[in-house]
């Protein structure tokens, strides 16, 4: 569906794509924003319209966060998106920068006294790669609040219900008790074993909770002794241990930490506090409840499906028909590096020039209609500007170099994210 704004930019109820096209064709509305697609009406104010409550639902993840906007009264998902973070890239670049800095200090200032104990981190400090996940998620929360009347927010506070996991470890049978208990442990195991059979690696098949050391051989019901296996492997293994079954590495893998789950657990309270600061009521849910709701509704595994199923507010009649999730990928806003270096660390380019050249900025989504020369044709993609006015264009088919700025039309200003169409390119003459 399409988001709608009143003449004073107050969000109204979303409308269908067909009706939005009709309003645009008749001149009653204009395109206000491309991502997410939003129109603004010319002849209607907020006082003349009636809006209905909508709930924003979030499924925070280490690499991808699912987002869904659900109409409270009808249970219809009116918009969905999957936001891919760049936390790992930030971490890698910071480690690279640290290596270069330490090398430089060793070469230039060996005499300088170490100062690593002189600095204190502020209360609530998060590593940049983790803070990025919170900030990009809040960016889209605020962006959607400006486009649709959001009255409440639902989010996963914990990936797993740790209380149920504790009970499973202590009492031994708690993971089989209760409506949600089995889902909490199962969700934990699915994350740890990457949704595949631990013995044969099969995916897309029914997986069973299996004991690494069988209970008949004295094995416990602790989570560290559980894994996932397909039915044939579970049957063949019988009462053998994983080592006797030919998989001695399974026990070591069962004890490895969950890096992605740790990242989510580290940022969960920071995200929750930022959501509470919006002033909207915030509902909390666990990963086990999300899995329970998604299974109950018969939905496939997808980040936006998980988002739509977060919390106890998930209706029995959740409507996900004709919903196509917007794939969003965080790209950042450029680099602070003054100039490029060669492999020896010496500058190979001049200092950066102005960021905006002839009204274009690196990262803008543009269309280039080249009318003359060997490169004649129509192209679509991301532009990299040069002070000379001869730009490069990155498309799906590759990079087209040396196109004059007069051939370019900006379709969408760079905002730190890229979208499916953002890297797409028309073939020449397409």
Same domain, 416 and 373: yes
Q: Which residue has the higher pLDDT, 337 or 367?
A: 367
Given 330, 346, 376, which residue is the final one in a domain? Answer: 330
Given 280, 312, 330, which residue is the final one in a domain? Answer: 330
In a domain, 132, yes or no: yes
Same domain, 207 and 263: no
Same domain, 150 and 270: yes
Task: Tell me how far apart the alpha carbons of residues 146 and 353 are, in angstroms, rounded to a whole number.
Answer: 34
pTM of the model: 0.75
Using the structure block, give the residue that is written with the tokens 């129109």: 39
Residue-wise DSSP of 168-187: HHHHSSGGGSSTTHHHHHHH
In a domain, 61, yes or no: yes
Peptide bond into 36 cis (omega under 30): yes
Q: Torsions phi, psi of 205, nearest 5?
A: -125, 165
- The CATH code of the domain that includes 320 is 3.30.420.10
Render pLDDT for 25-49 as a digit per residue (tens, 0 to 9). 999 999 999 899 999 999 888 888 8
In a domain, 264, yes or no: yes
Task: Tell me how far apart the alpha carbons of residues 148 and 162 are, in angstroms, rounded to a whole number.
Answer: 34
Same domain, 153 and 263: yes
Q: Which residues lie below 8 Å from residue 258, measured CB to CB, with a gap of 6+?
A: 191, 192
| Percent of the chain residues past pLDDT 90, beyond the cut | 40
Using the structure block, give the residue that is written with the tokens 């028909």: 321
The pLDDT of residue 245 is above 80: yes
* Confidence at residue 180, expressed as pLDDT on a 0 to 100 scale: 54
Q: Give the mean pLDDT of 285-310.
A: 90
Same domain, 37 and 69: no
- The CATH code of the domain that includes 182 is 1.10.30
Render pLDDT for 317-342 as a digit per residue (tens, 0 to 9). 899 988 999 999 998 887 777 787 78
Same domain, 156 and 264: yes
Enclosing H/E stretch for 284: strand 282-286
In a domain, 178, yes or no: yes
Number of structural domains the chain divides into: 4
Q: Torsions phi, psi of 153, nearest 5?
A: -130, 140
Same domain, 416 and 369: yes
Enclosing H/E stretch for 315: none
The answer to whether 329 and 418 are in contact (CB under 8 A) is yes
The answer to whether 2 and 37 are in contact (CB under 8 A) is yes
In a domain, 101, yes or no: no
Boundaries of domain holding 402: 356-423
Same domain, 417 and 378: yes
- The CATH code of the domain that includes 395 is 2.30.30
Task: Tell me how far apart the alpha carbons of residues 248 and 199 are, in angstroms, rounded to a whole number.
Answer: 10
Same domain, 154 and 68: yes
Same domain, 280 and 321: yes
End-to-end CA distance of the chain: 28
Same domain, 137 and 198: no
In a domain, 224, yes or no: yes
> 191-222 as b/e, with b when 16 or more CB fall inside 10 Å?
bbbeebbbbeebeeeebebbbbbbeeeebebb
In a domain, 335, yes or no: no
| Percent of the chain residues past pLDDT 70, beyond the cut | 90
In a domain, 395, yes or no: yes
Same domain, 144 and 233: no
Between the alpha carbon of residue 210 and those of residues 172, 289, 391, the distances in Å are 14, 22, 58
Given 254, 283, 303, which residue is the final one in a domain? Answer: 254
Task: Tell me how far apart the alpha carbons of residues 151 and 53 are, in angstroms, rounded to a whole number.
Answer: 6
Lowest-confidence region among 2-16, 40-54, 134-148, 408-422: 408-422
pLDDT tier, 161 (very low <50, low <70, confident <90, very high otherwise): low
């Amino acid at each position: 569906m399409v988001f709608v704004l009143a003449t004073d930019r107050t969000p109204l109820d979303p409308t269908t794509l067909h009706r939005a096209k009709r309003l645009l064709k008749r001149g009653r509305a204009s395109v206000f924003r491309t991502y997410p697609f939003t129109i603004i009406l010319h002849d209607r104010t907020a006082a003349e319209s009636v809006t209905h409550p909508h709930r924003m639902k979030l499924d925070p993840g280490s690499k991808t966060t699912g987002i869904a906007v659900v109409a409270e009264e009808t249970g219809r998902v009116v918009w969905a998106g999957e936001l891919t973070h760049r936390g790992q890239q930030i971490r890698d670049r910071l480690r690279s920068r640290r290596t270069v800095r330490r090398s430089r200090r060793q070469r230039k200032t060996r005499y300088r006294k170490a100062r690593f104990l002189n600095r204190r981190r502020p209360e609530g400090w998060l590593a940049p790669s983790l803070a990025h996940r919170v900030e990009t998620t809040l960016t889209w929360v605020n962006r959607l609040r400006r486009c649709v009347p959001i009255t409440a927010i639902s989010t996963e506070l914990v990936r797993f219900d740790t209380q149920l996991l504790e009970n499973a470890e202590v009492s031994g049978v708690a993971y089989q008790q209760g409506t949600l208990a089995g889902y909490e442990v199962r969700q934990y195991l699915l994350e740890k074993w990457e949704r595949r059979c631990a013995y044969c690696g099969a995916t897309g098949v029914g997986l069973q909770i299996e004991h690494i050391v069988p209970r008949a051989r004295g094995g416990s019901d602790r989570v560290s002794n559980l894994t996932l296996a397909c039915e044939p492997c579970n049957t063949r293994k019988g009462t053998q241990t994983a080592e006797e079954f030919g998989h001695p590495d399974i026990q070591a893998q069962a004890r490895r930490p969950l890096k992605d789950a740790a990242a989510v657990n580290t940022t969960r309270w920071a995200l929750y506090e930022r959501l509470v600061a919006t002033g909207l009521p915030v509902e909390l849910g666990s990963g086990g409840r999300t899995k329970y709701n998604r299974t109950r509704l018969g939905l496939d595994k997808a980040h936006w499906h998980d988002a739509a199923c977060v919390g106890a507010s998930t209706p029995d009649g959740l409507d996900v028909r004709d919903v196509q999730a917007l794939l969003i990928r965080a790209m950042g806003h450029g680099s602070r590096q003054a100039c490029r270096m060669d492999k020896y660390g010496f500058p190979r380019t001049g200092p950066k020039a102005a960021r905006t050249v002839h009204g274009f900025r690196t990262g803008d989504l543009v269309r280039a209609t080249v009318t003359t020369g060997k490169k004649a044709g129509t192209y679509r993609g991301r532009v990299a500007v040069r002070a000379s006015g001869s730009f490069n264009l990155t498309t799906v088919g590759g990079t087209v170099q040396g196109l004059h700025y007069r051939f370019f039309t900006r379709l969408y200003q760079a905002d730190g994210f890229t979208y499916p169409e953002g890297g797409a390119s028309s073939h020449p003459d397409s």
